[in-house]
């Protein structure tokens, strides 16, 4: 009886999972008037309109208006506490903005739950690595690929040839992602046993495996040495070209940001301080002051 109960319980869980997936698909395909998607090739892939977020009176984000264009790599920088991670959390549904909108390809996705946002095509990494430590490196990527793979209940319960075929395809695709990030030789290794830099790369590979149009990278170079950061630089360029991605990257490594991003947005105390090309940001007095502090007249004269 216990075995029968376990089988029934597992079957019920699978049914609920499949129903949940179908509901999310229906949501994506619906045209209920809240979507304003157009066919304009110049349409931003991701946009915020007056987005704000407060926590019991503490204003973490204030009136953020940003636009990400197709194929663009945009950097987001700012001092600690500027609101960078809160910005990512609002984009991906981990936090609901207190005001304003988040638009993805013209669709209003404000406050949608993270699974819905991920299936729509926005993936992210985290400032603090969130891998499945006890799973193998390969399985960490395979888990993410399930998002884009459809299994029927009959396929799962009876292990039809079509199920096995899809599983083999998942493994092959996962190995291709690992190869791109230099992790192919570690495929069978537990994720928790990887060096820190390799764990960072695995987290990016897992996010990429969800098949996104927009990839949000939260401090991807944290803990990496100069050589590893240079390798990451090239990997991000390869990802953008190969998978036709638009990328937003939060990062403290100014060499990486300045060398990789076409545009940079600077946040300070939850507000947009400046937006511009790397050379414009590098020479912006307000940005310099936010990082280094305002120079006194005496200091300015002695330095001239």
Domains of the chain, each with CATH number or no CATH: 43-121+212-295+300-304 (3.40.50.300), 131-210 (no CATH)
Please tell me the predicted confidence (pLDDT) of residue 159: 67
Cβ-in-10-Å burial (0-12, 13-18, 19+) of 278 comes to middle
pTM equals 0.78
CA–CA distances in Å: residue 246 to residues 45, 113, 167, 283: 8, 21, 28, 26
* Number of neighbouring beta carbons within 10 Å of residue 235: 17
Please tell me the predicted confidence (pLDDT) of residue 14: 44
* Number of neighbouring beta carbons within 10 Å of residue 51: 22
Cβ-in-10-Å burial (0-12, 13-18, 19+) of 253 comes to buried
Please tell me the predicted confidence (pLDDT) of residue 292: 60
Please tell me the predicted confidence (pLDDT) of residue 160: 67
Q: What is the pLDDT along the chain (304 residues), one digit of tens a residue?
A: 444 434 344 444 444 444 445 444 444 444 443 333 334 456 899 999 999 999 988 899 999 999 999 999 999 999 888 999 999 999 999 999 999 999 999 999 999 999 999 999 999 999 888 898 899 999 999 888 877 666 666 666 666 666 667 777 778 888 888 988 889 999 999 999 999 889 999 999 999 999 999 999 999 998 888 998 999 999 999 999 999 999 999 999 999 999 999 999 999 999 999 999 999 999 999 888 877 666 544 443 444 3
Please tell me the predicted confidence (pLDDT) of residue 291: 73
Please tell me the predicted confidence (pLDDT) of residue 117: 94
């Amino acid at each position: 009886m216990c075995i029968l109960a376990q089988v029934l319980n597992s079957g019920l869980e699978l049914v609920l999972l499949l129903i949940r997936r179908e509901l999310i698909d229906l949501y994506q395909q619906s045209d209920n008037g809240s979507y304003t998607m157009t066919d304009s090739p110049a349409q931003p892939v991701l946009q915020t309109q007056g987005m704000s977020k407060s926590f019991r009176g503490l204003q973490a984000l204030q009136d953020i208006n940003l636009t990400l264009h197709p194929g663009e790599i945009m950097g987001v920088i700012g001092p600690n506490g500027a609101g960078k991670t809160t910005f990512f959390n609002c984009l991906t549904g981990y936090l609901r903005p207190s005001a304003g909108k988040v638009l993805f390809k013209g669709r209003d996705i404000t406050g949608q739950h993270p699974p819905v946002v991920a299936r729509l095509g926005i993936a992210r990494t985290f400032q603090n690595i969130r891998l499945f430590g006890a799973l193998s490196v390969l399985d960490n990527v395979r888990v993410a690929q399930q998002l884009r793979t459809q299994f029927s209940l009959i396929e799962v319960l009876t292990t039809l040839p079509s199920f096995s075929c899809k599983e083999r395809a998942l493994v092959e695709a996962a190995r291709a992602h690992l190869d791109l990030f230099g992790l192919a030789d570690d495929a069978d290794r537990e994720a928790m046993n990887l060096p820190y830099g390799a764990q960072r790369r695995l987290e990016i590979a897992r996010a990429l495996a969800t098949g996104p149009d927009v990839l949000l990278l939260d401090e991807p170079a944290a803990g990496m040495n100069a050589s590893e950061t240079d390798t990451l630089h090239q990997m991000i360029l390869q990802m953008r070209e190969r998978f036709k991605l638009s990328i937003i990257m939060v990062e403290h490594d100014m060499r990486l940001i300045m060398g990789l991003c076409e545009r940079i947005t600077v946040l300070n105390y939850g507000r947009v301080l400046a937006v511009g090309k790397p050379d414009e940001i590098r020479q912006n007095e307000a940005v310099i002051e936010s990082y280094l502090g305002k120079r006194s007249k005496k200091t300015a004269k002695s330095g001239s």
